[in-house]
A and B are shown apart, each in its own frame.
Chain A
Amino acid sequence: MEKYEVAVIGGGVVGASVFNLLTRKGVNVVMLEACPDVAGGATKANSGIVHSGFHPEPGSLMAKFNVRGTQMFDSMCKRLGVKYFKTGTLTVTNRAGFSELQRLIKRGEANGAGHMQLLNRRDLLLLEPNIADGIECGLLASNGGYVSPYLLTIALSEEGVINGGKIVLDYFADRIEKKGKLYYIYAGKKVVAAKMLVNCAGVKAGYINKLVGDTVFNCNYIKGEYIILAPEEKDFVKRPICMLPTEFGKGVFVTPTEHNVMFGPTAKCCKPDDTGVEPESLDYIKQQSLICVKNPNFKKAIKLFAGVRTKSGFDFVIERSHKNPGFYYAIGICSPGLTAAPAIAEHIVAMMKQDGLTLHDKTLVKRDVPVEFRKLSPAQQKVLVKKNPAYARIVCRCEQITEGEILDAFKSPVLPTTIDALKRRLRVTMGRCQGGFCTSYILKLIESKLNVPMDKISIKGPGSEITLGNIKTGGIYEN
């Protein structure tokens, strides 16, 4: 059985941030994740907005960690080689909403959210030509922007592993025992032991607290659904555009990502594992987005998805247990949890230090930033192809991802073994054809390079395999 100083349960952005920070402080840490890849929960399905911090109630943990998180984002992303688009965010409204914008500015100032500016329609149009006709004023918050939440989490995880941490995937913690000074964390018959335990299990955080026999917090689960458009619509907006928040939440946004533009989220009470998109929601999203923007081309939709927020009351719950020494939990980490993650990690690790965990600074081993072949200059491309001809073999034609990049991913410290894991790292199957062309090649590559029989290759873990056995044995099929 393996023993660690710290075990982190949950490989979302919060867990990965805690894990990453601990590895950089020389702590012997393991991160346990139920899915076949990190970022399998809320972290893979959200708006990806780095909020400046004018939304949360002053004095709340949300306000504190949001603002601190935003401050940390730039240097964190630079260190990891993750793209952070520091575009600022825009909140727009009709004339009637003007006083509300002023209130938001006050709140932002109270929280320390950085530079904010009120804009009239003319200024807004210069920034965002596609805002809706009824929009008369807006609030530009310069801090913040957008990021790929899963690439960030993958990078945090990879850097953690390179710096001595361990990640166990496909590890669903289902029993926890405390014996002597150690927590024993079981997943079926597997077991891992650690002196300290951090619960970052997202929608399952309540369940983990129960396993430890600790305080149980009531949580609500709120689903957010999205529509993504094809890459050619990407320039529709340049920064996240939000409507005025209502009592139900921040409302439907129009958000750019590095490659697409998305519309959403909705906010609907749901079961914790319900990430289905409701047919009715599509019309709702389309309708709501018209409040902010004009003529979005929903004919170019390529994908729908949904993520689940976990809420416990009105604020994050980030505490050390008083019953179980060495047990820490982050519960109800809804929006702005992505933004707040680095600050939450800082806070949790500080608590652990107070409680006796030794930290020491060590020299950081840098993570190799994955090659994005299509973004290189022709001269750089030629050099790479000379070294490795696989960079000239295009596997995903929509996104122009090469075999070389897939082979690189197979060397990642957090090995992608499912189609979704490869998709999040490289964008294969994420384009217009949604995998119609390239999935068969990817199956072949996983089969031959990772030695997984094709019938065992899945989209997102056991039970989601793509092929179901041979039609006939023998015969002349492609190999």
Chain B
Amino acid sequence: MKTDVLVIGGGPAGIAAAINAWIAGAKVILIEREYRLGGILNQCIHNGFGLHFFGEELTGPEYATRFIEMLNKTTARVLLNTAAVKLTKKDKLFVVSTSGEHGLVDIEAKSIVLAMGCRERAGGAIGLAGERPAGVFTAGFAQKMINCYGKHIGKKVVILGSGDIGLIMARRLKCEGADVVGVYEIASTSSGLKRNISQCLMDFNIPITYNTTVTKVEGKKRVTGVWVAPVDKNWKPIKEKAKLIKCDTLLLSVGLIPENDLVINHPIEISPLTNGAITDEQGQTTMKGIFSCGNVMHVHDLVDNVSHEAARAGKHAALSALGKLRSGKKIPVQHCDKIRYVQPTSVYKSDADTAHIFFRVKQDYRRAALIAYSDGKQIARKNCMIVTPGEMQELEIIKTRLGSDLVIKVEAF
């Protein structure tokens, strides 16, 4: 099989990339390993999607459906039940070996869009000690069992980590009659959205305790309890203060990791901060012809941002395949030390009219001004009453204002 652009992954990122690559004039194939498009959205039956893109609060499947309908109007080819297993390079082409409904098929493409999403960090990765009984779930897996399979997974639940999925699952489990004992977060602030703290926890009287972690799981066959202990400044649990909480279920919401295994052996620079590929403004990675967007590039909290970002990556992947990609002078995006990372890491002086810089701050800052400087002058600014690490920030840069450098800073106002 041959195509101009091959999009790998059919979540919101892959769908938006495919649509926009097609609009830009390329021949497009999208492959998705599941039996349907939509990615993680299919299990997110809560609302809150699409506020920015559609000005409405949609559920995950509704949001996905809108995009799938747009995709259906294009002639992009969609292969479901098809997983990309290997990426190789043959002369100027990329060859993706796939496995699935059509057997083992190699697809040749001029450019590739990576949109594989992410996976959840599991207990071993955070050194969760104790026995290994049933009843320890990652939050997303629990969400799938409840929302897609209609199954109860526990009666008395402790949640470790305050990622968005954990918060949403706290509410979901409560609605299904479970006793949600509480959410424990090792950091001093939540890694989830403020709106989820208030709508999923406060509204349902579910307590959240910061600077606290689970050190050990009890129970041989099924969880019978977990040890919870406050931590010191270095996140070391204070053993003397540990206490046992009886429960039958522990949900882990301790982070998402971009699924970049497919490109691990290629010269694509992966950021140690995001675990995603480093990309420029056009969504291109450090390997020419390979683009990345959505959760496989950096973990997003709003799907609307995913769709925007993926649209840009899809468009430029098409232009690259068609030999029309404009580049020009690249300006690296620098940032102050209050910021954990920025994406993209470079912008072009010309090309598009605007560039969107996404970033996350390292900790909570009150009355914070997010400012983009170029040649010492402010070229974009947002004043926020509070910014938190759980919320991705964005600044729009008008290209005509861009000088010779670009620095993003967080300042008090």
The answer, yes or no, to whether B295 is at the interface (CB within 8 Å) is: no
Q: Which residues from B are CB-within-8-Å of A398?
A: 119, 261
| A279-B215, A304-B124 given; A436·B151 CB < 8 A | no
Greatest chain B CB density within 10 A among A279, A439, A461, A464 is at: A279
A440 near B221 with CB under 8 A, answer no
Residue in contact with A304 in the complex, picked from B100, B120, B127, B151, CB distance below 8 Å: B127
The answer, yes or no, to whether A228 is at the interface (CB within 8 Å) is: yes
A461 near B221 with CB under 8 A, answer yes
The answer, yes or no, to whether B131 is at the interface (CB within 8 Å) is: yes
The answer, yes or no, to whether A305 is at the interface (CB within 8 Å) is: yes
Residue in contact with A394 in the complex, picked from B83, B102, B125, B215, CB distance below 8 Å: B83
B127 near A471 with CB under 8 A, answer no
B100 near A279 with CB under 8 A, answer no
User: CB within 8 Å of A: which of B88-102?
Assistant: 97, 99-102
The answer, yes or no, to whether A475 is at the interface (CB within 8 Å) is: yes
| A276-B131, A279-B237 given; A302·B151 CB < 8 A | no
Q: Which residues from A are CB-within-8-Å of B257?
A: 432
The answer for the CA separation of A434 and B220 in the assembled complex, in Å, is: 18
Q: Which residues from B are CB-within-8-Å of A301?
A: 124-125, 127
The answer for the CA separation of A471 and B97 in the assembled complex, in Å, is: 40
Q: Which residues from B are CB-within-8-Å of A432?
A: 119, 122, 257, 261
B59 to chain A, nearest CB (A): 14
Greatest chain B CB density within 10 A among A402, A454, A464, A468 is at: A468
Q: Which residues from A are CB-within-8-Å of B128?
A: 304
A471 near B146 with CB under 8 A, answer yes
Q: Which residues from A are CB-within-8-Å of B68?
A: none
B99 near A305 with CB under 8 A, answer no
B151 near A469 with CB under 8 A, answer yes
B151 near A454 with CB under 8 A, answer yes
B122 near A433 with CB under 8 A, answer yes
Q: Which residues from B are CB-within-8-Å of A280?
A: 239
B55 to chain A, nearest CB (A): 28
Interface-forming stretch among A52-60, A341-349, A378-386?
A378-386
Q: Which residues from B are CB-within-8-Å of A471?
A: 146, 150-152, 176
B166 to chain A, nearest CB (A): 14
The answer for the CA separation of A460 and B131 in the assembled complex, in Å, is: 12
A436 near B140 with CB under 8 A, answer yes
Q: Which residues from A are CB-within-8-Å of B120?
A: 433, 436
B152 near A467 with CB under 8 A, answer yes
Q: Which residues from A are CB-within-8-Å of B104?
A: 378, 381-382, 385, 392
The answer for the CA separation of A436 and B40 in the assembled complex, in Å, is: 13
Q: Which residues from B are CB-within-8-Å of A477?
A: 148-150
**CB-based closest 5 A-B pairs:** A463-B221, A434-B122, A303-B124, A467-B151, A464-B134
Q: Can you pick out 23 interface pairs between chain A and chain B where the beta carbons lie within 8 Å of each other? A: A276-B216, A278-B216, A279-B237, A302-B124, A302-B125, A305-B132, A378-B97, A402-B99, A432-B119, A432-B122, A433-B138, A434-B124, A434-B138, A436-B119, A440-B148, A461-B221, A462-B221, A463-B221, A465-B222, A467-B151, A471-B146, A471-B176, A478-B149
Question: Apart from A436-B119, A461-B221, what are 17 other A-B pairs with CB-CB below 8 Å?
Answer: A276-B129, A302-B122, A302-B124, A304-B124, A392-B103, A393-B100, A394-B83, A432-B261, A433-B119, A434-B124, A437-B141, A439-B141, A440-B141, A454-B149, A469-B151, A470-B152, A477-B150
A463 near B129 with CB under 8 A, answer no
A468 near B119 with CB under 8 A, answer no
User: CB within 8 Å of A: which of B199-234?
Assistant: 215-218, 220-222, 227
B222 near A463 with CB under 8 A, answer yes
The answer for the CA separation of A97 and B129 in the assembled complex, in Å, is: 33
> 1/0 per position for B135-162, CB-CB distance to A under 8 A?
0001011001110111111110000000
The answer, yes or no, to whether A435 is at the interface (CB within 8 Å) is: yes
Residue in contact with B122 in the complex, picked from A382, A394, A436, CB distance below 8 Å: A436
The interface of chain A, by Cβ under 8 A from chain B, is: 228, 232, 273, 275-282, 301-305, 378, 381-382, 385-386, 389, 392-394, 397-398, 400, 402, 432-437, 439-440, 454-455, 458-472, 475, 477-478
Residue in contact with B129 in the complex, picked from A277, A454, A455, A468, CB distance below 8 Å: A277
Residue in contact with B130 in the complex, picked from A276, A397, A468, CB distance below 8 Å: A276
B284 to chain A, nearest CB (A): 25
A197 to chain B, nearest CB (A): 28
A385 to chain B, nearest CB (A): 5
Q: Which residues from A are CB-within-8-Å of B141?
A: 435-437, 439-440
A397 near B127 with CB under 8 A, answer no
B150 near A472 with CB under 8 A, answer yes
The answer, yes or no, to whether B85 is at the interface (CB within 8 Å) is: yes
B150 near A470 with CB under 8 A, answer yes
Q: Which residues from B are CB-within-8-Å of A278?
A: 129, 216
Q: Closest residue of chain B to A463, judged by CB?
A: B221
The answer, yes or no, to whether B48 is at the interface (CB within 8 Å) is: no
The answer, yes or no, to whether B3 is at the interface (CB within 8 Å) is: no
B250 to chain A, nearest CB (A): 13
Q: Closest residue of chain A to B106, judged by CB?
A: A378
Residue in contact with B33 in the complex, picked from A279, A304, A397, A440, CB distance below 8 Å: A397
A424 to chain B, nearest CB (A): 13
Q: Closest residue of chain A to B155, judged by CB?
A: A468
Q: Which residues from A are CB-within-8-Å of B133?
A: 459, 464
The answer, yes or no, to whether B182 is at the interface (CB within 8 Å) is: no
Q: Closest residue of chain A to B242, judged by CB?
A: A279
B130 near A277 with CB under 8 A, answer yes
The answer for the CA separation of A401 and B148 in the assembled complex, in Å, is: 23
Residue in contact with B221 in the complex, picked from A303, A381, A392, A460, CB distance below 8 Å: A460
The answer, yes or no, to whether B264 is at the interface (CB within 8 Å) is: yes
> 1/0 per position for B31-44, CB-CB distance to A under 8 A?
00100000000000
B265 to chain A, nearest CB (A): 10
| A393-B81, A467-B151, A471-B150 given; A436·B129 CB < 8 A | no
| A273-B220, A304-B127, A437-B119 given; A394·B153 CB < 8 A | no
Q: Which residues from A are CB-within-8-Å of B332?
A: none
> 1/0 per position for B246-284, CB-CB distance to A under 8 A?
000000000001010100100000000000000000000
Q: Closest residue of chain A to B36, judged by CB?
A: A478
Q: Closest residue of chain B to A282, judged by CB?
A: B127
The answer for the CA separation of A203 and B231 in the assembled complex, in Å, is: 37
A467 near B149 with CB under 8 A, answer yes
Q: Which residues from A are CB-within-8-Å of B124?
A: 228, 301-304, 434
The answer for the CA separation of A397 and B259 in the assembled complex, in Å, is: 10
Greatest chain A CB density within 10 A among B103, B124, B140 is at: B124
B103 near A394 with CB under 8 A, answer no
A466 near B153 with CB under 8 A, answer yes
User: CB within 8 Å of A: which of B39-95?
Assistant: 81, 83, 85
| A440-B145, A475-B150 given; A394·B129 CB < 8 A | no
The answer for the CA separation of A277 and B128 in the assembled complex, in Å, is: 9
A392 near B99 with CB under 8 A, answer yes
B134 near A458 with CB under 8 A, answer yes
B90 to chain A, nearest CB (A): 14
The answer for the CA separation of A245 and B63 in the assembled complex, in Å, is: 61
The answer for the CA separation of A385 and B85 in the assembled complex, in Å, is: 15
The answer for the CA separation of A459 and B132 in the assembled complex, in Å, is: 10
Residue in contact with A467 in the complex, picked from B81, B119, B153, CB distance below 8 Å: B153
The answer for the CA separation of A392 and B103 in the assembled complex, in Å, is: 6
Greatest chain B CB density within 10 A among A232, A389, A393 is at: A393
Q: Closest residue of chain A to B133, judged by CB?
A: A464
B339 to chain A, nearest CB (A): 22
The answer for the CA separation of A397 and B237 in the assembled complex, in Å, is: 34
